Amino acid sequence: MSERWRGVVAALLNPELRAALAEVMTDASLTPSRRERALARLGELGLVRDLDGHAVFDDTALRGILADGAPAKPQGPHRYLDRNGRIDQYPVREADRRELLAWVADRAVAPGEVLTEKEFNERLGGFTTDVALLRRHLVDHELVQRTRSGSAYMRPSDG
DSSP string for residues in the chain: ---HHHHHHHHHH-HHHHHHHHHHHTT----HHHHHHHHHHHHHTTSEEEETTEEEE--HHHHHHHHHHSPPPP-GGGGGB-TTS-B----SSHHHHHHHHHHHHHHHS-TT-EEEHHHHHHHHTTT-S-HHHHHHHHHHTTSSEE-TTSSEEEPPP--
Q: Given pLDDT bands bounded at 50, 70 and 90, which one contains residue 53?
A: confident
pLDDT for 2 equals 55
pLDDT in tens, 83-119: 888 999 999 999 999 999 999 999 999 999 999 999 9
Q: Where in the chain is the domain with CATH 1.10.10?
A: 76-154
Exposure b/e, 46-56, CB count within 10 A at least 16 = b: ebbeeeeeebe
Overall average pLDDT of the 126-144 stretch = 96
The answer to whether 42 and 49 have CB atoms below 8 angstroms apart is: no
Say whether pLDDT at 154 is over 80. yes
Q: Given pLDDT bands bounded at 50, 70 and 90, which one contains residue 10?
A: confident
Residues in the chain: 159
pTM of the shown model: 0.57
pLDDT for 105 equals 96
The answer to whether 138 and 101 have CB atoms below 8 angstroms apart is: yes
Cα distances (Å, whole numbers) of residue 129 to 76, 89, 91:
21, 11, 17
- What CATH topology corresponds to 76-154? Arc Repressor Mutant, subunit A (1.10.10)
